[in-house]
Amino acid sequence: MYQKKRGNKQRVKPVKIVPQDIIQNMICFIRGERVMLDSDLASLYGVETKVLMQAVKRNSGRFPRDFMFQLNDQEFECLRSQFVTSKEGRGGRRYLPYVFTEQGVAMLSSVLNS
């Protein structure tokens, strides 16, 4: 899809609308915060989790501790029992996942779209 702008063709990305109930199901309550997992956010943005985390690491100064944090072993095991995830050593995660607060999701959006 192209949109004409001042004689130049500019490619416009189609917007994918995600139903509200799907997003609400991705929100978890951890450490007293409403958060979303890095892998869920990556799927919403249409990128791999490692690409999302590379963007975060390149912009680490924009993500203070109240924007994102890494889960500990106990928190991850609790999530693992709630969701079906692959076991370690079988192509699953090799590190504990990161979660993003509402402010972190907003910052992530600006980092990925820039």
Q: What is the pLDDT of residue 113?
A: 79
C-alpha span between 10 and 107 (Å, rounded): 26
Q: What is the pLDDT of residue 18?
A: 83
Task: List the single range of 3-12, 38-47, 102-111 with lowest mean pLDDT.
Answer: 3-12
Extents of the domains making up the chain:
12-113
DSSP assignment of 55-111 equals: HHHHTGGG--TTTEEE--HHHHHHHHHHS--PPTTTT--SSPPEEE-HHHHHHHHHH
Query: Residues 32-64: pLDDT tens digits?
Result: 999 999 999 999 999 999 999 999 999 999 999
Query: Residues 67-89: pLDDT tens digits?
Result: 999 999 999 988 877 765 555 54
Q: What is the pLDDT of residue 106?
A: 94
For domain 12-113, give the CATH number: 3.10.260
The answer to whether 52 and 41 have CB atoms below 8 angstroms apart is yes
Q: What is the pLDDT of residue 44?
A: 92
